[in-house]
Structure 1
Amino acid sequence: MCGIVGIFDTRGTMSIDEGLLSRMNERQFHRGPDEGGMHVEPGIGLAHRRLSIIDLSGGHQPLFNEDGSVAVVYNGEIYNFHELTDELIKAGHRFRTRCDTEVIVHAWEQWGEACVERFRGMFAFAIWDRNRQTLFLARDRLGIKPLHYAQLPDGRLLFASEIKSLLCDPVLPREIDPCAVEDYFAFGYIPDPRSIFRHVHKLPPAHCLTLKRGEPLPAPRAYWDVPFADNGLRDEDQVRRELIERLREAVNIRLVSEVPLGAFLSGGVDSSAVVALMAGLSEDPVNTCSISFGDPAFNESEYAARVAQQYHTNHQVGEVNPDDFDLIDRLATLYDEPYADSSAMPTYRVCELAKRRVTVALSGDGGDENFAGYRRYRWHMDEERFRGLVPGWLRGPLFGAAGRLYPKLDWAPRYLRAKSTFQALARDSLEGYFHNFSILPDALRHQLYSADLNRELAGYRGIEVFRRHLENAPDHPLSRVQYLDLKTYLAGDILTKVDRASMAHSLEVRVPVLDHKFVEWVSGLPPQMKLHKREGKLIFKRAMERYLPEDILYRKKMGFAVPLAAWFRGPLREKVRHSLLGPDLLDTGLFNPDFIRRLVDQHQSGQRDHSAVIWSLLMYASFQRQIMNA
């Protein structure tokens, strides 16, 4: 795994500032500590940090074709590079290395922009073609690897794996995008293509961008989508067999490595399935690692230990201090923008643990999105059944009134906490799902913001992120919200979390469950095979019954969380008040201090549980302190 950066003059051939390019590259040293490389010519500069995985002695980047007219900087792995190499050699191309990077160069020469459609893997890369005076940027289909870019007033375009490298250029305005602030407090992260900075964009997953010198910056072009096309499979036994075969193949192609390799093992279904299949493919014991929490409500380590024992893995367990909140400010420097998934903390620690023994780790990420494993899918389908029973003209007023009148019982058992459910039922399907998903409901976000920010938003709401994707979403209500999550939550939250946490420790993470061929096939299975009678991931669990015990497969999902509510009333009580009611937030002019004070007082008195929004505010304050005020 690596880091890439570049500077491109879109208008002419101005001299590239080699010092700036070097600083941008070194800012991502953690992504590739093994080696660095740069190439500069009039109007273009490319640089690369390398974490060596395959062809350790070759594969130096930037890497060129035979006559030096085409260069690539690349972050990722192309798993089918052997087959592509054979095909390209037959077409007359000559290879000098054994690495997957060179395949990209020759694939561009052979197929042009369509080369991305031939790659199977995770990647973000930039190709410079001198003869065509063209810069080509591309990102993998699911968004496993990141790529950011910004066009400056002087015509230069900057790109980098992480925003921090772009910020090395003092010409880049650090102006906050108000719509990104709204997205953040709706979702807990900032979905593609926005970033927190108005002038910095994320290249969306499954998109490419072709820049020709002297021409305006075009919009990114999509080259793939999750099809959700019915594959006609109805026989459950056949689906089980084929599922295992396809996942095993996806795991197998990710075992190619010239450095130590292992796997994360949480004790949940997805990571346990990956480890089980790895064990059957590996001659040596699999290296596995997991995190142990002191709080039994969050601790899955005993289940991970059982799977490790069953498959005789070399297992290590790291115990996370339940008060591991020293990471709060460190996280802001990893993500470069506000990011509010608190599981980033244990993810950081498990990557730190894994790196002690391996350089590559396989994970089970993507199982919940593929197979409808999240609880919110069950809630959404329950609500959809209610919506089908009550006409809209009655449902809105009836459940709207119930939502207003029913007390907010954060302290009560879940079956008594119906206020949010009533509010969701009063809305249509998309609005209801967005309401259940949001960190803060629309009305409370409006109260959180200052009058100036509300005026700048001019009515913009985070749900517009979903509406952008709705045109291509499937019709079935379950498939539709899975599609929305694959386009937003997976890339913006889950994969961003893993990429930054792993790269902070120079660790490569591979995700076989997100192999795009596997995702395509799973998307075509009947929705009822995924979620049936409130059991999520049903077909996946049944397929794995030969490999894993029943209480691993069918126990209640625990998640990878931290005890925020208790922290904010206990050891972080004063830090919360200082950060949220001090200058870090209030001097931004974005927030309503009276509303924030009320949130903090209600939470710390035990009256309400506002831990999610307090964490979001805490992370925004840390971003302001560590990035904006640095």
Structure 2
Amino acid sequence: MCGISGIFDTRGGRRIDRNLLQRMTNVIAHRGPDEAGLWTDPGVGLGHRRLAIIDLASGQQPMATGDGQIVVTYNGEIYNYQETRALLIDCGYQFRTNCDTEVILYAWMEWGEACLQHFRGMFAFAIYDRRTETLFLARDRLGVKPLYYSVLPDGMVVFGSELKALLPYPGVSRTIDEQAVEDYFAYGYVPDPRTILRGVYKLPAGHSLTLRRGRSIPEPKPYWDISFHTTHPGTAEELGEELIARLREAVKIRLVSEVPLGAFLSGGVDSSAIVAMMAGLSNTPVNTCSIGFDAAGYDESGYAERLAQRYHTNHRSRRVSPDDFGLIERLALAYDEPFADASALPTYRVCELARETVTVALSGDGGDEILAGYRRYRFHAHEERVRSMLPLGLRCSLFGFLGRAWPKMDWAPRPLRAKTTFQSLGLSTAEAYFNSIAVVRDADRQRLFSDAFRRSLQGYRASDIYRDVMEKAPADDPLSQAQYADLKVWLPGDILTKMDRASMAVSLESREPLLDHQLMEWAAGIPTAMRIRGGQGKWLFKKALEPYVPHDLLYRPKMGFVVPIDRWFRGPLAETALSLASSATVTETGWFNPEFITQAAQDHIKGLRDNSRLLWQLLMFDLSLKHLVNQPAAAGV
């Protein structure tokens, strides 16, 4: 795994300042502590930081072809590089190394932009072709690896693996995008392609961008999509066997490494499945690690221990205090943009633990999205059955009234907390699903923001993102629409961002077998009745895993990396919560309603409402903006 950076002059061959390129590259040194490299030519400069995984002796970057005409800087892994290399050798190419980087170079020479169709892996890379004065940027299909870029008024394009890599370049915007603020407080992150900074973008997952000197700058172009239209025939037993076979193969190709390799083991379904497959493919014990919490309601480490004992792994576990909030400032620097998924804290801790003994770790990310594991999918499917019984007009009238009239009772037993359900039943499919994932819902965002800020949005709403994606989804049912939208928005914006920054902050490579695009394309064809059945999400996957994972582990309630931020803001962070309304971010921007924030903090501390997620969002927003706007240049993590 690595970090990349670069500068490209779209208008001519202006000299590239190597010292500036070096600074851009150095601020992401944590992504590649082993080696650093720069390459410049008139009008173009490429930077690289290397975390050596494969071909340790000769995989240095930026790497050029033998004639020096094509140069690449690359972050990621092409898992099928050996097969692709063999194809290219048959085409007459001669290789000097045994690494996947050189495969990318000759794949570009042979297939051009279509080279992406030959790659199976996670990647973000930039290729410069001197023959045509072309810069080609690409990001993997699911967005495992990030790529930021900005087009400046003078025609310069700068790019990098993290937002901080762009910030040393003069002229890169530090102006906050108001629509991104709306997005952040709805989702807890800023969805692609927007970033928190106006004029700075993320290259979307499954897209490429071709820049040719002297030509206008095009929009990024998609090269991959996933369809939920096709449904596989076969019995549950047959499909389950094929699912396991495909998962085993996806794990197998991710075990290639010349450095120590292991796996995260949380005790959940997905990580347990990955470890079970690894154990069956390895002649030596698998290295596994997990984080436990000193609070029973948050701790899954016992399940991880049981799975580790079953497969005789070299298991390491570390207990973390439920008041382990000392990483807050560090995470704000690591993520650059505001990022409010509090599970980033234990994710960082488990990456930190893994890095003590391995350089590569396999994770279970992606299973919930493609195999329908989230509880919200079950609720959405159930609500859709109710919605289908009544016309929208009647639903809006009936359930809209009930949603307004029913009191909000966060403290009450679950059956009495019906307000949210009534509100959702009165909405369209897309609006209802957005409501189920929104951190701060529309009504509360209306109260959170000032009148002036709401006017600046000019009618824009964060829900537009999910509505547009769900309406265009290649899917035949509401469950598939929701899964598709999560794969396109939630997965790259939240889950993969969380893992990439946490792992790279400690120079650890994370690999995700469940995000293998061939496995995912096949899994999208699992019949909906086999994804959710009898109120059980991931039904087919769990049935198929019964020979490999203990029954009570498979069918226990999902926990995830839960962090007790509700308790923090009633205890050690109570004063922090009360001070948010008077922070410089709130008072100087004029975007927020301080009275609402103060009331939200007081209500939370008194136990009247659970406003912990809103308070966490405000805290991370404040810390991130201090870093992005007030610092003269990016600081390293």
1:415 offset after TM fit, Å?
Answer: 1.6
2: CA distance, partners of 1:321 / 1:491: 29
> In the alignment, is residue 268 of structure 1 matched against residue 259 of structure 2?
no
Verify the 8 A CA contact 2:227 2:474 in the aligned structure 1: no
Verify the 8 A CA contact 1:290 1:316 in the aligned structure 2: yes
2: CA distance, partners of 1:573 / 1:235: 54
1: CA distance, partners of 2:209 / 2:628: 28
In structure 1, what is the equivalent of residue 69 of structure 2?
69
Q: Which amino acid aligns with 2:153?
A: P
Q: What's the CA shift string for 1:151-203, capped at 9, x where partnerless?
A: 11111000000000101113112111111001111111111000000111000
Verify the 8 A CA contact 1:581 1:596 in the aligned structure 2: no
In structure 2, what is the equivalent of residue 498 of structure 1?
499
Which secondary structure state, in structure 1, belongs to the residue aligned with residue 74 of structure 2?
A: strand
Q: How does 1:316-465 map to 2 (within 5 A)?
A: 316-465=316-465
> In the alignment, is residue 538 of structure 1 matched against residue 539 of structure 2?
yes
1:17 offset after TM fit, Å?
Answer: 1.1
Verify the 8 A CA contact 2:363 2:510 in the aligned structure 1: yes
* Bigger shift: residues 11-20 or 226-235: 226-235
In structure 1, what is the equivalent of residue 634 of structure 2?
none
2: CA distance, partners of 1:614 / 1:414: 23
In structure 1, what is the equivalent of residue 609 of structure 2?
608
In structure 2, what is the equivalent of residue 102 of structure 1?
102
In structure 1, what is the equivalent of residue 521 of structure 2?
520
In structure 2, what is the equivalent of residue 550 of structure 1?
551
Q: Which amino acid aligns with 2:498?
A: K
2: CA distance, partners of 1:619 / 1:561: 17
2: CA distance, partners of 1:57 / 1:269: 38
Q: How does 1:75-474 map to 2 (within 5 A)?
A: 75-469=75-469, 470-474=471-475
Aligned residues: 630
1:603 offset after TM fit, Å?
Answer: 0.9
Q: What's the CA shift string for 1:293-330, capped at 9, x where partnerless?
A: 11211110000000000000000001112111111111
1: CA distance, partners of 2:443 / 2:527: 37
Verify the 8 A CA contact 1:333 1:627 in the aligned structure 2: no
> In the alignment, is residue 564 of structure 1 matched against residue 571 of structure 2?
no
2: CA distance, partners of 1:415 / 1:189: 30
Q: What's the CA shift string for 1:41-63, capped at 9, x where partnerless?
A: 10000010000000000111011
With the length of structure 2 as denominator, give the TM-score of the two structures. Answer: 0.98
Q: What's the CA shift string for 1:558-578, capped at 9, x where partnerless?
A: 111101111101110012222
Verify the 8 A CA contact 2:174 2:628 in the aligned structure 1: no
Q: What's the CA shift string for 1:223-251, capped at 9, x where partnerless?
A: 01012232432311111111111000000
Which secondary structure state, in structure 1, belongs to the residue aligned with residue 254 of structure 2?
A: helix
Verify the 8 A CA contact 1:580 1:618 in the aligned structure 2: no
Structure 2 spans left out of the alignment, 5+ residues: 632-637
**In structure 2, do the counterparts of structure 1 residues 286 and 422 end up closer, same or farther at CA, with 3 Å as the change threshold?**
same
Verify the 8 A CA contact 1:195 1:201 in the aligned structure 2: yes
1: CA distance, partners of 2:110 / 2:185: 45
Which secondary structure state, in structure 2, belongs to the residue aligned with residue 317 of structure 1?
A: strand
Q: Which amino acid aligns with 2:276?
A: A
2: CA distance, partners of 1:80 / 1:628: 42
Structure 1 spans left out of the alignment, 5+ residues: none
Q: What's the CA shift string for 1:312-365, capped at 9, x where partnerless?
A: 000000111211111111111011111110000000000000000000000001
Which secondary structure state, in structure 2, belongs to the residue aligned with residue 138 of structure 1?
A: strand
Q: How does 1:473-512 map to 2 (within 5 A)?
A: 473-512=474-513
In structure 2, what is the equivalent of residue 625 of structure 1?
626
In structure 1, what is the equivalent of residue 635 of structure 2?
none
* Bigger shift: residues 21-30 or 470-479: 470-479
1:629 offset after TM fit, Å?
Answer: 2.1
Which secondary structure state, in structure 2, belongs to the residue aligned with residue 332 of structure 1?
A: helix
Verify the 8 A CA contact 2:578 2:602 in the aligned structure 1: no
1:594 offset after TM fit, Å?
Answer: 1.2
With the length of structure 1 as denominator, give the TM-score of the two structures. Answer: 0.99
1:491 offset after TM fit, Å?
Answer: 0.5
2: CA distance, partners of 1:189 / 1:533: 33
Q: What's the CA shift string for 1:60-106, capped at 9, x where partnerless?
A: 10111120000000000000000111110110111000000000000
Which secondary structure state, in structure 1, belongs to the residue aligned with residue 461 of structure 2?
A: coil
Verify the 8 A CA contact 2:64 2:70 in the aligned structure 1: yes
1: CA distance, partners of 2:552 / 2:498: 28
In structure 2, what is the equivalent of residue 578 of structure 1?
579
1:468 offset after TM fit, Å?
Answer: 3.2
Q: What's the CA shift string for 1:234-272, capped at 9, x where partnerless?
A: 311111111111000000000000000000000000000
Verify the 8 A CA contact 2:583 2:622 in the aligned structure 1: no
2: CA distance, partners of 1:337 / 1:457: 20
1:584 offset after TM fit, Å?
Answer: 3.4
Q: What's the CA shift string for 1:12-41, capped at 9, x where partnerless?
A: 111111111000000000000000000011
1:449 offset after TM fit, Å?
Answer: 1.0
Verify the 8 A CA contact 1:580 1:621 in the aligned structure 2: no
1:495 offset after TM fit, Å?
Answer: 0.3
Which secondary structure state, in structure 2, belongs to the residue aligned with residue 319 of structure 1?
A: strand
Verify the 8 A CA contact 1:585 1:624 in the aligned structure 2: no
1:622 offset after TM fit, Å?
Answer: 1.0
Verify the 8 A CA contact 2:263 2:362 in the aligned structure 1: yes
Which secondary structure state, in structure 1, belongs to the residue aligned with residue 36 of structure 2?
A: strand
2: CA distance, partners of 1:217 / 1:467: 28
Which secondary structure state, in structure 1, belongs to the residue aligned with residue 540 of structure 2?
A: helix
1: CA distance, partners of 2:583 / 2:205: 37
Pairwise CA RMSD of aligned residues? 0.9
* Bigger shift: residues 458-467 or 24-33: 458-467
Runs of 4+ in 1 over 4 A off after TM superposition: none
Verify the 8 A CA contact 1:359 1:506 in the aligned structure 2: yes
Q: Which amino acid aligns with 2:284?
A: D
Verify the 8 A CA contact 1:10 1:215 in the aligned structure 2: yes
2: CA distance, partners of 1:579 / 1:629: 18
Which secondary structure state, in structure 2, belongs to the residue aligned with residue 117 of structure 1?
A: helix
Verify the 8 A CA contact 1:329 1:626 in the aligned structure 2: no
1: CA distance, partners of 2:58 / 2:609: 58
Verify the 8 A CA contact 1:4 1:74 in the aligned structure 2: yes
Q: Which amino acid aligns with 1:208?
A: S
1: CA distance, partners of 2:175 / 2:6: 21
Q: What's the CA shift string for 1:591-613, capped at 9, x where partnerless?
A: 11111111111111111111111
**In structure 2, do the counterparts of structure 1 residues 231 and 394 end up closer, same or farther at CA, with 3 Å as the change threshold?**
closer
* Bigger shift: residues 465-474 or 438-447: 465-474
Verify the 8 A CA contact 1:580 1:617 in the aligned structure 2: no
Verify the 8 A CA contact 1:231 1:521 in the aligned structure 2: no
